[in-house]
Structure 1
Amino acid sequence: MIAAAAAAFVLLFPSVLVAGCYSSIFSFGDSLADTGNLLHIAGNHSTYYACLPYGMTYFGRPTGRFSDGRLILDFIAEALGLPHLPAYLDRRRDFEQGANFAVAGATALDNSFFKERGIRVYLTNVSLGVEIQWFRQLLPSLCSSPSDCADTLQDSLILMGEIGGNDYINPILQRRSLEEVKSFVPFVVAAISSAIIELIELGARTLVVPGITPLGCSSALLAKFQTQNVDDYDASTGCLNWLNEFSAYHNSLLEAELQTLRGLHPQATIIYADYFAAVNSILNNPNQFGFGNDTLVCCCGGGGAYNYNPRVQCGSDGYSLRDEPSRCVLWDGVHMTEATHRIIAGGLLQGPFAYPAIADACRLQSVIRSSTSRMVS
């Protein structure tokens, strides 16, 4: 049912726009949402993700996005009639219509949490707390007083990630036990919840909060934990069951927390974005969405069963690129293609991968504004 509804929506998106609801977008998260912040942190444009074929499909050049083209948030911005979000660390840009604080490699929990446990955090030490701090630093330049800032945020769409995946991937890759990593989940969910509350108290009224993707469908993790035991894999998709069960556990705790927050903050619309269901729907029905059948083989990589080799990253010397990225679900072993992002964004805007759909929240926002205007007049 979900697959059929999402497939039908692909025929409409992006021609169905929901422009006019929000004057700006503010985005947080990790590499699934980064539009260039890590490039500014690293300061090294020779790194693999700063080279083609990253960005090849839409931009024609690498932009710091971990994909061949646009991200989910890019498609959402386009549907809302807003420009693509500039990276916050690109200080040459105008942030009047929003800013993106997401950084590839970012975690929900602060780096100190992992240091205390002897776990290395890759790429960056930026956490969700740091991103919220950046947002607070930017806010005074966008509004003149707390009430003015509240008005600004009330008219903004807040995208809270995806965030949390790196909190688990880092220790899992370092061979920490599943029981230990599972014990981190309540702390990760609490960090996300705390950030949501902070933004609501500042005036945010519409927040999109994604769950994590099915980690067992990542080419990188499939290659790392490859096994001969067929029972370890989902018979329909080929994904690793134990990793997907872990992802589902995180998402169940996050959904429960969001339900609690809705009760505590009825003035806010908190949208759950079901990235897990979206990716699973595509993998179970690839042809309906225009993809080939080898869905777990990444488009750009270094060879092997899943075209993923940690020693030969996409964009580095010796990588191989499959024909037609638009027929691939996965881009570089960890991230998804523009084609996949388009489908997921469509399912967030119109359903069925968001609860409620962003378009429905948009219409509600319009009603609230209209009622407020009549009361004032």
Structure 2
Amino acid sequence: MASRSLVFSLHISTLTLFILSKTATCCFTHIFGFGDSMSDNGNLLKSIGDRFHPVGYLPYGETYFGRPTGRFSDGRIILDFVAEGYELPFIPPYLSGTSPEDFPHGANFAFAGATALSDSYFESRGIVPYGFYTLDTQIHWFKNLLASISEQPGYSSDYMSNVLFVVGEIGGNDYNHPMFDGRTLDEVRTFVPDVLSKISLTIQELISCGAKTLLVPNIFPIGCNPIYLTTFQSKNREDYDSKTGCIKPLNEFIEYHNAKLSKELEKLRQLYPNVTIIYGDYYAAAMKIFSNPEEFGFSYPLVACCGSEGPYNYSSLAKCGYPRSTVCSDPSKYVSWDGLHVTEAAYKLIAQGLLDGTHSSPPIPTNCSNFMHDSA
């Protein structure tokens, strides 16, 4: 009976994507994405040129593309599945083009390592900035591209009504960097109001540019990531969730951020009643997998597919793509790809939860007539 239930569930999920792709194409003709390495599909790789980075080599990209694309996964990421759901081609990274003609259906500005907060913010707290492109830079790129697009023949004021803005995941690195720098959870918690303020201001800036529909995802449960499970191992059994094996204090911190983000989005909905602001619950979608991995076909929920050594197959001395690292034979059995990022199989399930409305609030638009906006 269990196997029949799983097969039925998979058929329903597939049918959901099929129906969505056949009914929602008129809603969104463009997607603009922002975020960090969970969403980056080539910007970091384009920025470093010929310099070495493991994401530029196999096994990254091996499952779907058969080659590295700059995605920090074995295949497609959530933004790809969202684009597929609306029968759009994969959205190109911003740094891969030079003119509006290179972005007929939108652009992805996400950059691996990106933070919401500025480098100066971290410097003021004695934290050496990582020097990655921040959310401010991504917004600057977007405005430059939008200015060019608006000058093209045939540009209409209705353009923004047909754009889906995916703002995130963003904020994770604002916490990752200081925690790996040795800062305590209590100290990092004080960053949350500033991170949320920056995300809120960014959303308002996009709205001022004409954005009508924004999907704003929350942050994944970091306490289930092999890199965190390895770095912050505890001898106290009470620190671990008995059902999932994830580190409870880390996930509780992310739950705190996510709850505050949800409240901030509700405030913005009150301020902008004519704009659709969707809360994407990556956390709940991922925790559903970690709570019942076998139900979704995962045999190794807390172990990295690509990595080396230790109980979680992650070592900072032999990361995925470096010498001594190995790659599993079937990434679809793993949730984690390289210890920090997710496999295509897990990304697909999370994306389905967004597209079918299970983990998006309000549900992501699937019917044009219900979600068209006046082009004010």
TM-score range, shorter chain: over 0.9
Pick from 132, 152, 156: which aligns with 2:159? 152
Partner deviation per Cα, 1:113-172 (whole Å, 9 max, x = no partner): 0011121333x4311111001100111221139x95753222100000100000001001
Runs of 4+ in 1 over 3 A off after TM superposition: 3-9, 147-150
> Equivalent of 1:73, from 70, 75, 79?
79
**Equivalent of 1:52 in 49, 58, 78:** 58
TM-score, L = length of structure 1: 0.92
Q: What is the one-letter code of the residue matched to 2:284?
A: A
- The code of the aligned residue for 1:25 comes to I
Distance apart, 1:223 and its partner CA: 0.2
Unaligned 5+ residue runs, structure 2?
Answer: none
CA distance in 2, matches of 1:199, 1:139: 11
Q: Equivalences for 1:21-40 in 2 at 5 Å? A: 21-40=27-46
| Aligned residue type for 1:324 | D
Q: SS at 1:357's partner residue?
A: coil
Match for residue 119 of structure 2 among 73, 91, 111: 111
User: Which amino acid in 2 is paired with 1:313?
Assistant: K
2-structure distance, mates of 1:222, 1:6: 30
Question: 1:231-276: CA deviations, max 9, x gaps?
Answer: 1100111110110000001001100000000000011110000011
CA–CA distance in structure 1, aligned partners of residues 309 and 243 of structure 2:
23
- The 3-state SS of whatever aligns with 2:26 is coil
Q: Does 1:201 align with 2:205?
A: no
**How big is each residue's C-alpha offset from its partner over 1:153-210, in whole Å with a ceiling of 9 and x where there is no partner?**
2210000010000000100111112221100000000100001001111111110000
**Which amino acid is 1:30 matched to?**
D
Q: Using a 3 Å threshold, how does the CA distance of structure 1 residues 150 and 310 change in structure 2: closer, same or farther?
A: farther
What is aligned with 2:141? 134
SS at match of 1:15: helix
Unmatched 5+ residue regions in structure 1?
none
In 2, Cα distance between equivalents of 1:13 and 1:120 = 45
Task: Tell me if 1:309 matches 2:315.
Answer: yes
Are 2:34 and 2:168, in contact at CA under 8 Å, matched by a contact in 1? yes
Shift of 1:11: 4.0
Q: Secondary structure of 1:27's match?
A: strand
* DSSP 3-state at the match of 1:295: strand
Find the aligned partners of 1:42 and 1:343 in 2 and give their Cα distance: 31
2:108 is aligned to: 100
The one-character-per-residue Cα deviations of 1:325-357 (angstroms, maximum 9, x if unpaired) are 011111000000000011011000012111122
In the alignment, what sits opposite 2:191?
184
In the other structure, the counterpart of 2:96 is 90
Identity %: 48
Matches within 5 A, 1:288-367: 288-292=295-299, 294-358=300-364, 361-363=365-367, 365-367=368-370
Measured at CA, do residues 96 and 320 of structure 1 come closer, stay the same or move farther in structure 2, by a change above 3 Å?
Answer: same
SS at match of 1:142: helix
2:18 to 15, 19, 36: 15
Say which is worse superposed, 5-14 or 250-259, in terms of deviation: 5-14
- TM-score of the superposition, structure 2-length normalised? 0.92
Task: Look up the equivalent residue of 2:369 and give its one-letter code.
Answer: S
SS at match of 2:302: coil
> Given residue 366 of structure 1, which amino acid in structure 2 is its aligned partner?
S
Q: Cα distance, 1:20 vs. partner?
A: 2.1
2:245 counterpart of 1:238: yes
Q: 1:249 to 1:149 in 2, by over 3 A?
A: farther
CA deviations over 1:210-236 (Å, ceiling 9, x no partner): 000111111101100112211110011
SS at the partner of 1:76?
helix
> What is the rounded CA distance, in whole Å, between the counterparts of 1:336 and 1:205 in structure 2?
29
For residue 309 of structure 1, report the CA deviation from its aligned partner.
0.5
**Distance in 2 separating the partners of 1:142 and 1:198:** 18
Match of 2:171 among 128, 140, 164: 164
Structure 1 residue 323: Cα displacement: 1.8
